[in-house]
Structure 1
């Protein structure tokens, strides 16, 4: 484990330098305290246990862990997206607006919750092809955001804004009349990002936005996300099991295991000085580009320690 962080994904070596990480500030945008989520089935499953974190304005917070560790369940809890049998059983989620307003997210309901979800906290769901309606054009789906949340906008203004959003994420505005099946995987993901940006949210939650994309398109999407973050100043919660990717793009990383956040630190500290055995095991699960796969065990971490 002696190679520097930037050698893990050489293709993204210049991302931090070109996009910058100075956007993040000490001002909080979201505070989560002791959040608990339970799936109330025949044998209740405690999917998130006492999760606590503070997300700062403009920050990229990576959320890492193996499948089933509770990453998406935690993310859904940040804006009440759970459906039965999932239920939030404890804790608090507080949103800190740019205007100084503090919102108790878990107390919102009805129309107030619906308005909050898209204008303050937006989400890019995993699997863009499944998220986009296959029988409705891109234009109709983008315009639906404004029809619902900005009913005062006229048809011409809605169309203009939709074309601006597509251009913002690197999609030809001429594709506005296309359907999901007529777009590549990368373009569909960009459309989903454009939809999430429609109302200028202060926080973007991205649930594995590069899953099922080839490595070249992955790199383009990651660069696009960081460019937009730099330009628009929103914070990002980036969910993935790909820890090396998070080491490149994140300011801080939270590692989840069995519903708990077992470690939360800067990307550099997490890589060079991981504190939890599970974090060390995650790091060791990715082959080194400059050494053998046995480097991790030779570094002094026994199999017993990492279980």
Structure 2
């Protein structure tokens, strides 16, 4: 029960982080891609720093959850970040949740419960994974992220500047895949917690995790800066748990139930994916961003002098 509670609290922190960081990014001129330059600009904005504190809180909660539970259990619960993001956005941006948000949110809850019940993953063992499997899995994960980033760089708004919905979506999926890798490394480090704090601190996974987490943070900022939450959030929400579950099953050898339970798991998973896609089209995520002149614009780059903040 503690694992579930910690994972839900991590989703709450991540939702707050997404909205706060989006609020900071929407006030910047367009054209910034992923990299340290964008982070240095954002560091001057207090609302973004609050978002970073929320990220750190989510990270610590997730790490504690992974110390007590399996990757295949903890990470799917984090999809609750999306409805929680909508709830937070409705408060920050002064909108109201309607049935189009509440119905899929309830369906997501039911689907996730069915998925976790059907799979009922048994514990894996990150300590027994040989080094070459780590190298291969990390390499494949990073290759996928690199391809997504390359595709995201080709995105353009209607006025020809870098960014737009394609970039936001690609960077969002890349950030999700990178955070999935970070979660796997986090699980590798926290699996040594029974041996004491010293064993965790001296594990190589901990330090690689810090590097991959920073890359994921830069990709997330690029996604939030390139377009609105409507484009960035669904891919981020789905890719992170998907990559994490693949790590849990394929690398850490967490066993899941077969037979008719797979049908229930597929139905639950389909409900979660459908709910995410429906929630991903919510107007609450379609917040406009200003262009270089300060005029609000849509992710496609078209100006709208009458748009409201």
What TM-score results when the alignment is normalised by the length of structure 2?
0.28
Higher helix share: 2
What TM-score results when the alignment is normalised by the length of structure 1?
0.28
